[in-house]
Structure 1
Amino acid sequence: MFFTALQVAAGGAIGATLRYLFGMGVPRLLGQHSLPLSILLTNIIGSTLMGLLVSFLGIKGLTQWNAFLGVGVLGGFTTFSSFSLETWTLVERGEPVLAAVYVVLSVAVSLAGLFLGMTLMRGVLA
């Protein structure tokens, strides 16, 4: 388990660095936009890569790379790829309603948590 945690940590460092560089590079290439294109593109690319990776590793019997590449690199690049994979897994298991609930709860409760955290901290620091 310790070795697996090291794999995740190493992959996460790579993925987070790639996300940072991507986030800095997109506005330079595409210009500034009101829509957060860097994050949108990161989520789309990460989710696409997660689909490719999970399918490839599963078919080729290389699932020992999941911790480093999937959880680590792609998880560091965007946790949205993991969210997308979990949602799709629910759909494939024949649980589309549960998948929809998962999506709505994840987005709504995460936004509520962000609002709560910001409101509390602004109150504390005011």
Structure 2
Amino acid sequence: MAAVFVGGALGGTLRWWLGDLVPDGGGFPWTTFAINVSGSLVLALLPVLGVVRRHPALAAGLGPGVLGGYTTLSTYAEQGRALLDGGRLGLAAAYVLGTLAACLVAVTLAGHLSSRADQREFDAEEGNE
């Protein structure tokens, strides 16, 4: 639990810092979009890293901790709601559906970035079967 707590604090701080550094502005919420897509990519890459699989505290600290704090469903939902409330139906749909699609592409890309040996090791240990 300590790993998740510390990781969540780090991930949330990183997300806050990025949002402060590159605010979304009044149009498409690009910063939140980029945070959620990059977080999905990195989260999907974690299981193929043997060191992460062999150390449960590291897996918890990085997965639900850092990346759980870094990515944000609540801000994504609120920004989509705000776009709808502002009468920007097309932009809201593009944001909500575009984020979902881009995150799925990122997860698929992660599968292609991992080596076949890593994928086989993951499947043999706990994996996808």
- Aligned CA distance change for structure 1 residues 70 and 52 (closer, same or farther; 3 Å): same
- Aligned CA distance change for structure 1 residues 25 and 59 (closer, same or farther; 3 Å): closer
Alpha-carbon distance between aligned partners in 2 of 1:65 and 1:59, rounded to the nearest angstrom: 6
Superposed displacement of residue 26, structure 1: 2.1
User: Which secondary structure does the structure 1 equivalent of 2:39 belong to?
Assistant: helix
- 1:7 corresponds in structure 2 to 3
Give the number of the structure whose residues are more often helix, by fraction: 1
Selected match of 1:69 from 62, 70, 84: 62
Write out aligned runs for 1:43-122 (5 A).
Answer: 43-57=36-50, 61-79=54-72
Sequence identity (%): 35
**Does 2:34 match 1:41?**
yes
Superposed displacement of residue 79, structure 1: 4.7
User: Which secondary structure does the structure 2 equivalent of 1:14 belong to?
Assistant: helix
CA contact (8 A) 1:54 1:70 kept: no
Unaligned 5+ segments in structure 1 are: 95-126
Between 1 and 2, higher relative CO (CA 8 Å, sep ≥ 6) is seen in 2
- 2:18 corresponds in structure 1 to 22
Deviations 1:15-55 (A, max 9, x none): 1000001111223xxx7350111110010010011012222
Deviations 1:43-74 (A, max 9, x none): 00100110122221478634441111111111
RMSD over aligned CA atoms reads: 3.2
